[in-house]
Structure 1
Amino acid sequence: MELHNIEKLIEKYFEATTTVAEEEILKKYFSEDKVAPHLEQYTPLFNYFTIAKEERFTKQVPLKPRRNYLKWVSVAAIAVFMFGLYFYQPIPPPVTLADEYTPEEIESAKEAFALLAMNFNKGTEQLYHLDEFEKTTNKFLTKNN
Structure 2
Amino acid sequence: MELDKIEKLLEKYFDATTTVAEEEILREYFSNENIPAHLEQYAPMFQYFSFAKEERFTKQLPLKTRNTFYKWASVAAVAVFMIGFYFYDPSPEPVSLADQYTEEEIASAQEALALLAMNFNKGTEQLYHLEEFERNTNKFLTKE
TM-score norm. by structure 1 comes to 0.64
Larger Rg: 1
Amino acid corresponding to residue 99 of structure 1 in structure 2: D
CA–CA distance in 2 between the matches of 1:73 and 1:16?
49
Q: Which residue of 2 aligns with 1:27?
A: 27
The 1:59–1:123 alpha-carbon spacing in structure 2 relative to 1, beyond 3 Å, is same
Partner residue of 2:85? none
Partner of 1:42: 42
Query: How far did residue 56 of structure 1 move?
Result: 1.5
The whole-number CA distance in structure 1 between the counterparts of 2:45 and 2:62 is 34
- 1:13 aligns to what? 13
**Deviation of residue 99 (structure 1)?**
2.2
1:115: Cα distance to partner? 4.4
User: What does the per-residue CA deviation read over 1:37-68, in whole Å, with 9 as the maximum and x for residues that have no partner?
Assistant: 11101101211121012212121111111225
Distance 1:22 1:113, change over 3 A: closer
Distance 1:20 1:115 in 2: 88
Q: Which ranges in structure 2 are unaligned for 5 or more consecutive residues?
A: 78-91
Using the alignment, how far apart are the partners of 1:3 and 1:116 within structure 2? Answer: 96
Structure 2 counterpart of 1:43, one-letter code: A
Report the Cα distance in structure 2 between the residues aligned to 1:20 and 1:100, rounded to whole angstroms: 81
- Consecutive unaligned residues in structure 1, runs of 5 or more: 78-91
Q: Tell me, in whole angstroms, the C-alpha distance in 1 between the residues paired with 2:60 and 2:22.
A: 37
Provide the alpha-carbon RMSD of the alignment.
3.4
Q: CA deviation at 1:97?
A: 1.7
Aligned to 2:56: 56
CA distance in 1, matches of 2:21, 2:123: 95
Superimposed CA distance per residue, residues 79-116 of structure 1 (whole angstroms, 9 cap, x where no aligned partner): xxxxxxxxxxxxx9664321233435534543443344
